Amino acid sequence: MTVCCGPLLAALSACLAATSCTGVQSALAPSGYHAGRIAALFWWMTGVGVAVWIFVVALALYYARTANGEQNRRRDGWLIVGGGVAFPTITLTILLVYGLAMIPETVARAPEGSLQVAVTGEQWWWRVRYLTAEGEQAVLANEIRLPVGEPVQFRLDSDNVIHSFWVPSLGGKMDMIPGRVTWLTLRPEVTGIFRGACAEYCGTSHGLMSFYVQVMEKAAFDEWLAHQARPARLPADAEAARGAGLFLSNGCSACHTVRGTPAAGVIGPDLTHVGGRLSIGAGIMDTRPGQLRDWLARTGHIKPGVHMPAFGMLPDADLQALAAYLDGLE
């Protein structure tokens, strides 16, 4: 039984290890310059660690099989000095120098004129602002889009507790500390959709505080950014129009902004183009009418500790109309 299960378990472990290295939130599937450097450091450290382990095990097996009493002081002395002192010292020094050499480039600012994105950690979502030479151009939440092949300068802060901004497939993490501004440069090299998360425990819904980063071709990104700067589109049908009225009459506008309408709240996420985003609730639900309706009715149940009140007291028809209005804000 042991003979049969051993290779099977080894193969299973290998499969699990391989699948854990892929996906939209894997530091070992780098799609950005800085993530590639970090992944290379990981593999070098892993390789050296395996080499050291093999050396130590081989040494232990050698001495375990040596006849009792058989000693060679000269040989043993060289093994102690070489294997116990010189080898780990040289190995760790090389890894230390290799790792420290990465620090300047990982903390360096993006070149002058690069795209700037300001991200603020909230409880428990992300406020995203695109900054240009003319000032603030677009505001959204829980989603970031970037042009491929270009360095992007992130300005990170928090107005409540410590958060940590991390997109594993694109680069390293950076803490967001109340009262301070920290900076992070990312340079995506592959188009696609990647998942980011808060890497610092920040409260009740820390595990439900994620976001998506979509890396696009430059032309598509410029078109998207220009669209984000425009006001919200008018409701497309009667139900969505009724939902727009309900949005204002039920106090949603006290917390949320929908540019081009009287809604100008700044407490919650900007919803001007929420219908065109990949997710709602900080990466936990799709932007479909049914999901939007559930979010409105059971907000606190879906995301414990969220500051947004649930509107489950509204009739289902009103919730459907609100969802239709939000879905149409593309």
Q: How far apart are CA 193 and CA 169, in angstroms?
A: 10
By three-state DSSP, how is residue 77 classified?
Answer: helix
Does 144 lie in the same domain as 283? no
Residues 6+ apart with CB under 8 A from 95: 44, 45, 48
In this predicted structure, the answer to whether residue 21 has a pLDDT above a threshold of 70 is no
Of the ranges 19-28, 101-110, 128-137, the best mean pLDDT one: 101-110
Q: How far apart are CA 164 and CA 155, in angstroms?
A: 12
Cis peptide before 295 (omega within 30 of 0): no
Residues 6+ apart with CB under 8 A from 132: 116
Q: How far apart are CA 238 and CA 78, in angstroms?
A: 86
Residue at 36 is within a domain: yes
- Residue 100 phi, psi dihedral angles, 5° rounding: -65, -30
Domain end (from 217, 249, 274): 217
Does 64 lie in the same domain as 102? yes
In this predicted structure, the answer to whether residue 3 has a pLDDT above a threshold of 50 is no
Mind listing the pLDDT tens digit for each residue in 36-81? 999 999 999 898 888 888 888 887 787 777 656 566 777 777 877 8
Rg for the chain, CA atoms, rounded: 26
Does 148 lie in the same domain as 41? yes
- State pTM to two decimals: 0.84
Residue at 123 is within a domain: yes
Mind listing the pLDDT tens digit for each residue in 133-186? 666 678 999 999 999 999 999 999 998 999 999 999 999 999 999 999 999 999
Q: How confident is the model at residue 125 (pLDDT cuts 50, 70, 90)?
A: very high
The pLDDT assigned to 107 comes to 77
Q: For residues 205 and 304, is the Cβ–Cβ distance under 8 A? A: yes
Residue type, 27: A
In this predicted structure, the answer to whether residue 115 has a pLDDT above a threshold of 70 is yes
Does 291 lie in the same domain as 207? no
Please tell me the total count of domains within the chain: 2
The pLDDT assigned to 86 comes to 85
Does 57 lie in the same domain as 196? yes
Residue at 226 is within a domain: no
In this predicted structure, the answer to whether residue 129 has a pLDDT above a threshold of 90 is yes
Q: How far apart are CA 44 and CA 324, in angstroms?
A: 52
Residue at 120 is within a domain: yes
Q: What is the mean pLDDT of residues 253-271?
A: 93
Mind listing the pLDDT tens digit for each residue in 208-254? 999 999 999 999 999 999 999 899 989 989 999 999 999 999 999 99
Q: How far apart are CA 156 and CA 161, in angstroms?
A: 13
* Domain CATH for 312: 2.60.40.420
Beta bridge partners of 197: 166, 210
Does 202 lie in the same domain as 56? yes
Residue at 20 is within a domain: no
Q: How confident is the model at residue 20 (pLDDT cuts 50, 70, 90)?
A: low
Residue at 244 is within a domain: yes
The pLDDT assigned to 137 comes to 75
Burial of 95: CB neighbours in 10 Å, binned 0-12, 13-18, 19+: middle
The pLDDT assigned to 71 comes to 66
Better-predicted residue by pLDDT, 81 or 266:
266
In this predicted structure, the answer to whether residue 199 has a pLDDT above a threshold of 80 is yes
208: left (phi over 0), alpha (psi -120 to 50) or beta: alpha
Range of the structural domain that residue 242 is part of = 238-327
The pLDDT assigned to 141 comes to 94
By three-state DSSP, how is residue 205 classified?
Answer: coil
Residue at 289 is within a domain: yes
Mean pLDDT (the chain) is 87
